[in-house]
Amino acid sequence: MDPAPHAPRAPWDSHRSGPPNQHNSGLLDGQPTGVSLRTPTAAAASQSPSSTPDPPADCSSSSVPPRPPAPSSVLRLAVGDRQGRIALWDFRSRKILRWLDLDLGSKLGIQDLCWIRSETWLLASIHGPSMISLWNLTSGRCTWKYDSSPEYLSSIRRDPFDSRHFCVIGLRGFLLSAIVLGDGVGDVSIQEHQILNSGGGELEKLEKEKDLLSSSSASANVSPASALFPMFFVRFCFSPRWRHILTVVFPKELIVFDLQYGTALWSASLPRGCSKFMDVMPDLDLDLLYCVHLDGKLSIWKRKE
């Protein structure tokens, strides 16, 4: 007997898992109403859920808007590459709607992307080691830039309680909190914090090994943090339960940080026998944190009563 035919699927309703890879520069980040996925350079082709003509070379980051659109609307995927380009891709028609480029002359590779909602949808991006940009997707123009040199920026996230608010974390513990006040040029309010941590010595050692402390180092000027330090991760997530609360993981330390008061509330060292932290993600229903480690293992953390 011939097998029953499968029901036809919509052109965007597909997924193909990629192989495990220790060089993956990120993980799937589930949100209440959407997903954000940062794909690795080496495995970008195998992890792509579909194909697109003229795809960005060396895909380093991608992000889906957090709210599922109506069936008739465009489902946009923002994809960044190591050449500093960002493509807005219509996931349904598989066509590139627009290219975004800082046009600085140098190719500042994309480290991370995040959708921000103000009066309209905006896109925040990390370019190279230290540049943050905000894009108006209607005009395709960059409306705001912030250079945090000499920081190495690692991760950018949107506040679940305020879609105008996002934070950016650096490998040394630099934390930028930004609120988009409007869609005009420069309509952003910022506040800087520094999270004290135990990873500074290890990062300085890696800088010396790669000769990145020299001002003449070309790779340090244009490459994103995931390219310069592929095995050194600093990630964070907003608490879905309490406003202003972040959980930050450094390679050997987990810290709960209060944005409102600019102080750490609690910290814990990496348990003995555990591989270094790679990423952190909150449970949206339970009071739990999920941490991924470099050896591929998952640890689950529960707040003490």
Percent of the chain having pLDDT more than 70? 72
What is the Rg, in whole angstroms, of the alpha carbon atoms belonging to the chain? 19
Question: What is the C-alpha separation between 257 and 153, in angstroms, rounded?
Answer: 18
Q: What is the pTM of this model?
A: 0.78
Residue 26's pLDDT is what?
41
Question: Cα(159)–Cα(186) distance, rounded to whole angstroms?
Answer: 20
Could you give the strand order of the β-sheet that contains 263-269, starting from the edge strand earlier in sequence? 235-238, 245-250, 253-258, 263-269
Q: Which residue has the tokens 């995931």?
A: 226
Q: Are 256 and 264 in contact (CB under 8 A)?
A: yes
Instruction: Give CA–CA dist 82/60, Å, rounded.
Output: 6
The closest of 7, 10, 6, 39 to 24, measured between CA atoms, is: 39
Q: Map out the domains of the chain with their CATH numbers.
A: 28-302 (2.130.10.10)
Q: Is the pLDDT of residue 164 over 60?
A: yes
- The angle subtended at Cα 304 by Cα 298 and Cα 305, nearest 5°, is 145
Lowest mean pLDDT among 98-107, 127-136, 178-187, 273-282: 98-107
Which of the given ranges, 115-119, 249-253, 271-275, has the highest pLDDT on average? 249-253
CB atoms within 10 A of CB 161: 13
